Amino acid sequence: MTIEDTFEKCNADYLKFNRIENKMSNRPDLHAFLFLDVLFPKNRCMVCSASHDKIWLDVDMEDIEELTEEQIIELVRCGVGYDADSLYMFA
């Protein structure tokens, strides 16, 4: 199963932030940022670009491929999506 397939499979959990048990923040977007920072610590900004109503997150494709299904579910519950080898969120 590809990363794209896993994100598609988890789409039913999109923005169901209330299902996350160990929240790092009360805000879904901040939780997603903190969660990704714990998983893949980098010394750079989390948002790498923005276009219209999307913000693109600065996570390398190699890192995205390491995500487990449980981690993807948690990100999807925060509103994170996957498209064209990148993670994004709607503004």
Tens of pLDDT, residue by residue, the chain (91 residues): 899 999 999 999 999 999 999 999 999 999 999 999 999 998 889 999 999 899 999 999 999 999 999 999 999 999 999 998 899 999 8
- pLDDT given at position 45: 92
- pLDDT given at position 85: 86
- pLDDT given at position 1: 85
The C-alpha atoms of residue 37 and residue 26 are separated, in whole angstroms, by 17
Question: How would you class 25 by CB atoms within 10 Å of its CB: exposed for 0-12, middle for 13-18, buried for 19 or more?
Answer: middle
DSSP 21: S
Written as six digits, the tokens of 26 are 């009360």
